[in-house]
Amino acid sequence: MLICKVVKPLVSTNRIPDFEHKHLQVVLDGSTQKVAVDAVGCVPGDWVICVGSSAAREAAGSKSYPSDLTIVGIIDHWDPEAAKVLASNAAPVSAAATANGGKA
């Protein structure tokens, strides 16, 4: 799963039939723009939870749906700066600790 920020809706009137009329959103994953199927009705500025791969297809409606990224939830509150601070303060796990079941 990914945490992304919704940038804007994407309108595509000419689509393959399997794509149906699902809403599309441009989302930011870090500094990369991606297109996601909007299964929850989000708006620009929302922080959202996205799933990829087969989970994206199922969340969009069926295993055969042509999507590799689907928005499955709107986050109530997300502070990306606080998340960066928490991540930088987390103690790195050494390879030795991992090999010894968490004990260095």
Q: Give exposure, 41-66, as e/b (b: 16+ Cβ within 10 Å).
A: ebeeebbbbbbbeebbbbbbeeeebe
Instruction: With CA atoms as reference, report the closest residue to 49 among 75, 16, 86, 31.
Output: 75
Average pLDDT, the chain: 83
Q: What residues pair up with 28 in beta bridges, in sequence order?
A: 5, 33
pLDDT band at 12 (very low <50, low <70, confident <90, very high): confident
Beta bridge partners of 33: 28
pLDDT digits (tens, 9 = 90+) for 20-55: 778 999 999 989 999 999 999 999 999 999 998 888
What is the number of other CB atoms lying within 10 angstroms of the CB of residue 39? 19
Separation between Cα atoms, residue 77 and residue 48, nearest integer Å: 10
Residue 94, pLDDT score: 54
Amino acid 21: pLDDT: 77
pLDDT at residue 35, rounded to an integer: 94
pLDDT at 9: 97
The radius of gyration computed from the CA coordinates of the chain, to the nearest angstrom, equals: 17
Residue whose pair of structure tokens reads 């390879």 in the numeric block? 95
Q: Where are the domains of the chain?
A: 2-81
Question: Can you give the pLDDT at residue 74?
Answer: 97
Distance CA 50, CA 4 (A): 7
Q: What is the pLDDT of residues 71-93, one digit of tens each?
A: 999 999 988 887 777 677 775 65
CATH architecture of 2-81: Beta Barrel (2.40)
